[in-house]
Structure 1
Amino acid sequence: MGARVSVPADRTTGKPPRPLRPASRRAATAGILEHLDCKHVVILVLGDVGRSPRMQYHAMSLASHGVRVTLIGYSGERCISAVEDSPRVDTSRRFNPPLSGRWGKSLNRRAYLLFAGVKAVALLARVMYELVLVAGRPGGGGGAVADSGGFGGALRPDAILVQNPPSLPGLACVYLACLLRRCAMVLDWHNLGFTMFGCGPRHPLVWITRRAEGFFGRRATVNLTVSHAMRNWIKENFGVPEGYVVYDQPPEFFRPPTVPERHELFTKLNRTNPDFADAIRKLTLASLRGESSAIGGGGGGSDGNDRLGHGNDGDDGTDRPHPKKARGHSDDNSGSGRSDSDSGGNREVTEVTPPPTARTPPAEWEEGDPAGQQRTLFTTRSADGVYELRRDRPALLVSSTSWTPDEDFSVLLEALRRFDLRTASGASPTLPLVMVVVTGKGPDKAKYVARMRAATMSRVAVCTAWLEPEDYPLLLGSADLGICLHTSTSGVDLPMKVVDMFGCGVPVCAVHFECLKELVQHGYNGCVFRDSTELALQLEALLDGFPRGGSELDGYRSNIKEVQRWRENWDEYAWPIFSKIGRLRAGPTNTRGVGVRGSTRGDIFSNARGGGWSTGGLAESVVVPATLLLVLLVSVPWLSHSLESWAADGAAAADRWRRQWT
């Protein structure tokens, strides 16, 4: 038998110390685990994860630092390849939205209140089930420190990252899950959820959502925002002591494409997208009829400074991007499409002047060319493999939209109509043909597509496209000008589509709202407009003489060649926060916020305001048992299916009753 080891007595009582309780054991091992960085983060998106690029970029960056990531959200579009192919990112926890089937839609039309209540309960059950009982389980994306915490054997994450909006019930679920799993709550503010309902400020839904956002924002461990304006707003109105700005920045795959990449993209779209092919044919016929004179030719500079309209309030044309936008590096491929180089043995040339004898009309695609030449409306490929941008090509404009009421697409249609009338009158003979490609999905798409098809424009063609994730950056980079119609519901968020366009080296015309000047500087990297008349004047000024070099458009493009990339910005501003979460994971409990351990006054994790529930005291004695009982009741895997079946039977019964009495 081993020798007996004496236990020193407590100096104050003279009695041997009591055995360490679990919380005390965690505090005692703080010194051992303090060197560990963040190991596991759960990301919750109450929406289609494939259409949430910022949250995918968070997952991509966390995985690059060796962190295990579990993505929870709705299924739908494919995620970017960097997320899908990463062995450290688990995307298997995506699920279909509750009541998304045919009978759910029928119930929504006939009994909306019943539909909303059943959907909220089913969604609450599924999200709590994923956050508390599934996330981090071995084989399910778990790579965290082995600390089951007694919840179904699931490994406890270091942090749960949730986007806002949507606000409810996601924020409540994450807050309760952080109490149960004893982890940090990281709230990423994309916008203000209560501003997105389109109701008045006195509406009960707006009132509840606003107060819920303030309540959970004050109790989150860390608040991230997309702009300085949003950080200041939640501090002044919600009482959030401090927020940390993590700007949206383009990843490395948003870059100017090479000429061969453009050629292959246009070829693919012409073959697979009927709407794109119809637009190509329309512009081809317009050129053959001679409706556009001197395309790309003509002299005379553009005096667009007098015609660009108004910019941001106080703009004098000398503004420069904020330091975070200007401190980036130039992408290695940023000039690959603008100079002679070798790419896979094929020489690519930016501009080629056509023979002066006869101008070859644009053609959508010529596979049977006797000379072996392949031609699109924008590019050509010779028999010896030389790719060239056509000198007589039309201007390509791209607009990314979600087809929602906060993006009034009629402004762009009216501006294009004015532009078309201007060229038809012959007042500006150096204006080119224009092709506009609109990407995205949304509820108002059908309405505006019908208006697009009804428009009678002879020199402008508009088409829609929904692209694969790998094709979207190529299309943006192939554009000559980007159009942003985003009008912020809150006035404090920034459009991510503009960031993507800047990453591809494309200037932007954006509709004005208050904090847009944090991103777009009028007269430096783009133009800001307030109505369709102003946008039409800007299009005329920027496209005059296209594609002749030395224009104002080229000046804007040169000002955005160097842009900070997502990885650099994230590593500088976001990773220190997540790294600190990991190092403080095993420390003592802090009573000032959810899941905060080892925090001291002045530390970044002292941001959660006092008065919130902690992981000790009231939380452990009342809140945690009560919440655990609720989770056990509503988190059974088959519960959501039972609720859906019950709702379907109710809808069928209501339909029979209606037919019987009408």
Structure 2
Amino acid sequence: MELSPVGVFFVIVYLSIPFVLYIFQRLAEPSDDLLHRRKRTIVLVLGDLARSPRMLNHARSLAQGGLDVDLCGYDEGNKILPEIANSPRIAIHRIPAIINSANLPFVLFAIKKVLLQHILLLKLLWSLRGADFLLVQNPPSIPTLGIARFFVVFLSRPTKLIIDWHNLGYSILALKFSKPKDSFDDAAVSKHPLVWLYRWYEKFFGYHAYCHFTVSIHMGEVLRNRFKMKAKRILPLYDRPALQFHPLSFEEKKAVFANHSKDIFDGMGPSTQEKIIITSTSYTPDEDIYMLLEALKLYDTRKSELDSAVIPNGGSSVPKPKKKTLPRLRVIITGKGPLKSEIEEYVENKLKLSSISIHMPWLAAEDYPLVLGTADVGVSLHLSSSGVDLPMKAVDMFGVGVPVISVTYPALSELVRDKVNGLHVKTAQDITDSFEKLFVDDELYDTVKAGAMRETRIKWDHEWNKKVGPLFGIGEYRQRNDDEVSESSSSSSSGF
């Protein structure tokens, strides 16, 4: 059978693949002059570095442990903490953001964006080849996991791939296709073909990673049971706040009130009879800000009813016997994201409240933990797409000793324990009721406040050095076998 010229061309291309890959492998091998250098880790997040606190914590811990770090991610104009930005062992590599400046249709722009991301990531990682570790954040899975796998197999064979699982990417995509609310059934979520494809991609390219970090034990169980990954390579590592998150003294609170007297705390002092509620948000669909706003309307109505309630007494009226009244609220919603302008418009024009003021600032990294520390109660509105991730915002709140009201889902009790360091809620009415309980029942508030203060004792550095530091040769002990994650460290930290 005679081949056409096109057929001959494809046969030649096919037969040349092994040779090309061999050349790539030879180019990626480290030279002799690198054998005695310090270990180096690439920390990669396909997102804004300043808003990726967990990955920044990884970079800081690695640098403190004596490793060189290449920190890679987007720059969206937000400041990175000076201790990371100015560290001599951390080199920051900015990935250009891809913007739909031509107003292309969504599908065309999505294709263009993914193709450009492939090119940008390959170019960046090629320049960083020879690192000992590549630590990537997931999600986003596409194209990060595929590129990372290609990099360690063909471009930088000495590099070990570690995936830090913040959530399951396919479950987030499912939110775009009418995922049933409060349903964490994997079969139901994966019915849409694009979601199924994303799930396959995430599992296929994630399976062969050297090690997996997860934000919860529940997530580790998903990787083991649904994705059939090796349990000994799964290390649950809870998010913990960095050192800048700590409870504020009376004098520190006074200073924060003074520094933000014009934008957040006008007329506010430490002795003001007004409770401060704070929530942090990225203004995305997986955080229901409208649930909080509805709860505030209900609270405002409830307070007005209690304040104006009277008992008839002949021709006159006298106030009802006083019980503890509900306090006024100062609500701080901090963050920015795609839905912020819509929420701002709703608050300004449609939400009429008489006993509640709402402030919606964007706080710099150095101001965020200080303002957070002034709050009486924090609210987490994170609606988990998978049911197995944990809200980083609640971690920050515990870092400053603030109890948390949180929307509940399966893994939440690993972080927020009901009536121990916070309260679990499902609806706007539940949030309203929680405010009322906490501000009327001193015993309940004191209990959850004490629980939140206990959380401040456990910091990121302690957890990181103990649980995953040994993987990098850092921490309380070193790995006996450099090629395997020890069974003992896995079983002691994962709870499997």
Q: Which residue of 1 aligns with 2:244?
A: 253
What does 1:99-114 align with in structure 2 at a 5 Å threshold?
100=99, 104-108=100-104, 111-114=105-108
For the residues of structure 2 that align with 1:81 and 1:539, how far apart are their CA atoms?
37
Find the partner of 1:484 among 380, 386, 390. 380
For the residues of structure 2 that align with 1:113 and 1:194, how far apart are their CA atoms?
18
Pair 1:186 & 2:187 matched? no
Contact persistence 2:190–2:199 (CA under 8 A):
no
Contact persistence 1:417–1:457 (CA under 8 A):
yes
Contact persistence 1:38–1:578 (CA under 8 A):
no
For the residues of structure 2 that align with 1:125 and 1:464, how far apart are their CA atoms?
38
Partner-residue secondary structure (3-state), 1:177:
helix
Q: Which residue of 2 aligns with 1:421?
A: 301
For the residues of structure 2 that align with 1:516 and 1:173, how far apart are their CA atoms?
32
Pair 1:405 & 2:399 matched? no
Pair 1:568 & 2:496 matched? no
Identify if the C-alpha distance between structure 1 residues 600 and 579 changes in structure 2 by more than 3 Å, giving closer, same or farther: closer
Partner-residue secondary structure (3-state), 2:352:
coil
Pair 1:529 & 2:421 matched? no
For the residues of structure 2 that align with 1:413 and 1:46, how far apart are their CA atoms?
31
Contact persistence 2:332–2:360 (CA under 8 A):
yes
Pair 1:167 & 2:141 matched? yes
Contact persistence 1:46–1:170 (CA under 8 A):
yes
Q: Which TM-score applies when normalising by structure 1?
A: 0.61
Residues 163-198 of structure 1: CA deviation (Å, up to 9, x unaligned): 100001111111111122111000000000001122
What does 1:365-404 align with in structure 2 at a 5 Å threshold?
377-378=268-269, 389-390=270-271, 392-404=272-284
Q: Which residue of 2 aligns with 1:464?
A: 360
What does 1:116-155 align with in structure 2 at a 5 Å threshold?
116-132=110-126, 134-135=127-128
Pair 1:431 & 2:323 matched? no
Shift of 1:260: 3.1
In structure 1, give the amino acid aligned to 2:453. Answer: K
Partner-residue secondary structure (3-state), 1:521:
coil
Contact persistence 1:409–1:485 (CA under 8 A):
yes
Q: Which residue of 2 aligns with 1:385?
A: none
For the residues of structure 1 that align with 2:485 and 2:337, how far apart are their CA atoms?
46
Q: Which residue of 2 aligns with 1:501?
A: 397
For the residues of structure 2 that align with 1:85 and 1:556, how far apart are their CA atoms?
38
Contact persistence 1:423–1:429 (CA under 8 A):
no
Residues 466-495 of structure 1: CA deviation (Å, up to 9, x unaligned): 111111001111100001111100000000
Shift of 1:451: 2.0
Residues 27-64 of structure 1: CA deviation (Å, up to 9, x unaligned): 9x9xx97xx89710001111111110000000010011
For the residues of structure 1 that align with 2:164 and 2:221, how far apart are their CA atoms?
15
Q: Which residue of 1 aligns with 2:89?
A: 88
Contact persistence 2:95–2:120 (CA under 8 A):
no
In structure 2, give the amino acid aligned to 1:191. Answer: N
For the residues of structure 2 that align with 1:517 and 1:562, how far apart are their CA atoms?
16
Residues 331-355 of structure 1: CA deviation (Å, up to 9, x unaligned): xxxxxxxxxxxxxxxxxxxxxxxxx
Q: Which residue of 1 aligns with 2:314?
A: none
For the residues of structure 2 that align with 1:38 and 1:604, how far apart are their CA atoms?
24
Partner-residue secondary structure (3-state), 2:261:
helix
RMSD: 2.8
Contact persistence 2:275–2:327 (CA under 8 A):
yes
Partner-residue secondary structure (3-state), 1:261:
helix
Residues 486-516 of structure 1: CA deviation (Å, up to 9, x unaligned): 1100000000111111110100100111110
Contact persistence 1:37–1:579 (CA under 8 A):
no
For the residues of structure 2 that align with 1:38 and 1:97, how far apart are their CA atoms?
31
Partner-residue secondary structure (3-state), 1:195:
helix
For the residues of structure 2 that align with 1:602 and 1:553, how far apart are their CA atoms?
42
In structure 2, give the amino acid aligned to 1:196. Answer: I
Contact persistence 2:136–2:162 (CA under 8 A):
yes
Pair 1:559 & 2:451 matched? yes
Residues 343-402 of structure 1: CA deviation (Å, up to 9, x unaligned): xxxxxxxxxxxxxxxxxxxxx2xxxxxxxxxxxx12xxxxxxxxxx31x33100100111
For the residues of structure 1 that align with 2:257 and 2:96, how far apart are their CA atoms?
34
Identify if the C-alpha distance between structure 1 residues 543 and 459 changes in structure 2 by more than 3 Å, giving closer, same or farther: same
Q: Which has the larger radius of gyration?
A: 1
Shift of 1:430: 2.2
For the residues of structure 2 that align with 1:413 and 1:580, how far apart are their CA atoms?
46
In structure 2, give the amino acid aligned to 1:248. Answer: D
Partner-residue secondary structure (3-state), 1:527:
strand
For the residues of structure 2 that align with 1:565 and 1:258, how far apart are their CA atoms?
19
Contact persistence 1:37–1:580 (CA under 8 A):
no
Shift of 1:599: 4.6
For the residues of structure 1 that align with 2:242 and 2:489, how far apart are their CA atoms?
27
Identify if the C-alpha distance between structure 1 residues 580 and 559 changes in structure 2 by more than 3 Å, giving closer, same or farther: closer
Q: Which TM-score applies when normalising by structure 2?
A: 0.80
Contact persistence 1:256–1:505 (CA under 8 A):
yes
Shift of 1:95: 2.7
Shift of 1:429: 5.2
Identify if the C-alpha distance between structure 1 residues 452 and 245 changes in structure 2 by more than 3 Å, giving closer, same or farther: same
Pair 1:217 & 2:206 matched? yes
Number of equivalences? 425
For the residues of structure 1 that align with 2:167 and 2:462, how far apart are their CA atoms?
23
Unaligned runs of 5+ in 1: 1-21, 136-153, 281-363, 365-376, 379-388, 588-596, 606-662
What does 1:352-363 align with in structure 2 at a 5 Å threshold?
none
Consecutive aligned runs of 4 or more in structure 1 exceeding 3 Å deviation: 597-605
Q: Which residue of 2 aligns with 1:320?
A: none
For the residues of structure 1 that align with 2:391 and 2:53, how far apart are their CA atoms?
12
Q: Which residue of 1 aligns with 2:67?
A: 67
Contact persistence 2:134–2:161 (CA under 8 A):
yes
Partner-residue secondary structure (3-state), 2:360:
strand
What does 1:571-650 align with in structure 2 at a 5 Å threshold?
571-579=465-473, 598-599=483-484
Contact persistence 2:479–2:486 (CA under 8 A):
no
For the residues of structure 2 that align with 1:75 and 1:600, how far apart are their CA atoms?
33
Q: Percent identity?
A: 35
Shift of 1:114: 2.7
In proportion to residue count, which structure has more helix? Answer: 2
Find the partner of 1:234 among 215, 223, 230. 223
Shift of 1:584: 8.8
- Structure scoring higher RCO (CA < 8 A, sep ≥ 6) equals 1
